Amino acid sequence: MSEDLRWMSTRELAARIADKEISAREALDDQLRRIDEVNPALNAVVTRDDDRSRAEAAAADEALAAGAEIGPLHGVPMTHKDTNDTAGMRTTWGSPIFADRVPQSDSLIISRLRRAGVITTGKTNVPEFAAGSHTFNPVFGVTRNPYDLDKSASGSSGGVGAALAAGIQASGDGSDMGGSLRSPGSFNNVAGFRPTNGRIPNSSPSPFSWLGQTGFMARTVSDIAFLMSIAAGPEPGLPAILAEPGSVFDRPQFRLGGQAPDLTGVRIGFSPDLKGLLPVEPEVVDIVAATAPVFADLGASVDDVIPDLSDGDEVFGVRRAMDFLASWGGLYETDRDRMKESVRWNIEAGQRLTGPQIVSAEAARARLSGEVQRFFADHDLLVLTTCQVLPFDVGIEYPMEIDGTQLETYLDWMRALCLITATGCPAISVPAGFSAAGLPVGVQLVAKPGDDVRLLEIAHAFEQATRWNERHPEIGE
């Protein structure tokens, strides 16, 4: 049975549990066995509570047997990103400062998953304070890529990405500030979705922020839509909410047996490197460029018209500095010596901000918004690379150069992601192919703010046409 469950989608697993074809206990046992098989090599799952999860699985089976009303994820086991609070289970943010922290309540995204029936089984690894797109920290160490254990799984949702790729679970929660769902999606050959700002209300340490958003990764776009139908929607008392309920994601084409739509009439602006704005490794450019004919074959019109996103650097840099100062500035005053250099760098950048700098960044954001609106007035989608590099050596913190271009900061290799974050647009990375060495590459699809459902429909059609997501690593075979 474990071989069957390993690559089963979340939708199918939930349906089979509801139909009593698989018990919650069996689903849990399968997940725990898979963690035992592959996690010693990956280090993706860093916290477990088998006793708690076994008790919850038993209760789920008993409730179903008794005819109780069940949620759409009833009995589905799931680990969670170690930045999302889980009541009664430690949430460390990968920091020695929080190594023994056990929250008393769940983050919003976790509470919505658990109300839908999810059984929490553990936590997945993150970079310290989720800073950077390579998953390592002094508490748990480094997470490795299932396709090549000598390569990075990216981050900050790298533990989630590695767990999905390795067959531990089919989908999982995460968060995305500078690409933390999209980048590990690309590195691990899964889909990673950053929703429109406020699609899932923000309950982060900096609640007024819009830069960081919670969302999902999955081996199929269909599963992302499924989880969004459960986790999205307004929450009284939280800022930056969208009025639409999560049910807008419950579309027939995403359901089991549903047909992916054709893309006739979809207008796409396409440039792997944003017309030279981004340095990108040549092999990545070639793989992403090869997706353009796929979209055309599906009925879309593809041209090279793109928006000017150069203002995004200023918007992202200033807003990120403000958010780090707001979230961790107090901790910096008492524990700065226990923080990694890049975390201190972000907080100190926030401390140095002046009023004119903030005003300038707001003006840049207004210009960027206007550029995005003009582009989407006659396009439905922007397509570019997700990552500018292939998965890199696990022993380095971040790449220092791309195709001969020297990089100045740890964020520079992530600009394809950070620039899109600055727009506030929904974006998804979907598998686009593999390098000659067998390393995954993703393509990033971007839609106008609020057009999340249409974005997932297009991504679903591309995924169904290419089937790159069905190529799994050999780890644990």
Sketch the domain layout of the chain as residue ranges.
Answer: 1-470
Smallest Cα–Cα separation from 111: which of 256, 244, 249, 238?
Answer: 238
Q: Is 149 within 8 Å of 43 (Cβ atoms)?
A: no
Smallest Cα–Cα separation from 148: which of 450, 455, 435?
Answer: 435
pLDDT at 1: 44
Distance, in Å, from the CA atom of 172 to the CA atom of 125, rounded to the nearest integer, reads: 13
Q: Is 433 within 8 Å of 290 (Cβ atoms)?
A: yes
C-alpha distances (whole Å) from 170 to each of 57, 217, 218, 329, 434 are 18, 9, 6, 36, 20
The label of the residue with tokens 């041209």 reads 303
Choosing from 95, 156, 186, 204, which is the catalytic residue?
156
CA count, 13 A, side-chain hemisphere, 80:
29
The label of the residue with tokens 């992530």 reads 414
In this predicted model, what pLDDT tens digit does every residue of 293-327 receive, in sequence order?
999 999 999 999 999 999 999 999 999 999 999 99
Distance, in Å, from the CA atom of 390 to the CA atom of 2, rounded to the nearest integer, reads: 31
Judging by beta carbons within 10 Å of its beta carbon (0-12, 13-18, 19+), is residue 352 exposed, middle or buried? exposed
Length of the chain: 477
Look up residue 102 and give its two tokens.
């056990």
User: Beta strands of 12-115 (E only): which ranges?
Assistant: 45-48, 77-81
C-alpha distances (whole Å) from 93 to each of 106, 126, 143, 204, 380 are 14, 7, 14, 12, 36
Distance, in Å, from the CA atom of 372 to the CA atom of 309, rounded to the nearest integer, reads: 8
The label of the residue with tokens 């990033």 reads 444
Q: Domain 1-470, CATH 3.90.1300.10 — does that match?
A: yes
Q: Is 229 within 8 Å of 218 (Cβ atoms)?
A: no
Choosing from 23, 53, 81, 271, which is the catalytic residue?
81
Rg (CA), the chain: 21
Q: Is 81 a catalytic residue?
A: yes
Choosing from 53, 180, 204, 327, which is the catalytic residue?
180
C-alpha distances (whole Å) from 116 to each of 109, 227, 233 are 11, 10, 14
The list of the chain residues with pLDDT below 70 reads 1-3, 204-208, 239-240
Smallest Cα–Cα separation from 120: which of 130, 129, 107, 131?
Answer: 107
Please enumerate in sequence order all residues whose Cβ is within 8 A of that of 24, keeping only pairs 6 or more positions apart, or say none.
17, 56, 57, 58, 60, 61, 64, 74, 75, 76, 77, 119
Distance, in Å, from the CA atom of 88 to the CA atom of 216, rounded to the nearest integer, reads: 22
The label of the residue with tokens 């199929």 reads 220
3-state secondary structure of 80: strand
Look up residue 207 and give its two tokens.
């609640």
Distance, in Å, from the CA atom of 119 to the CA atom of 28, rounded to the nearest integer, reads: 8
Distance, in Å, from the CA atom of 367 to the CA atom of 299, rounded to the nearest integer, reads: 32
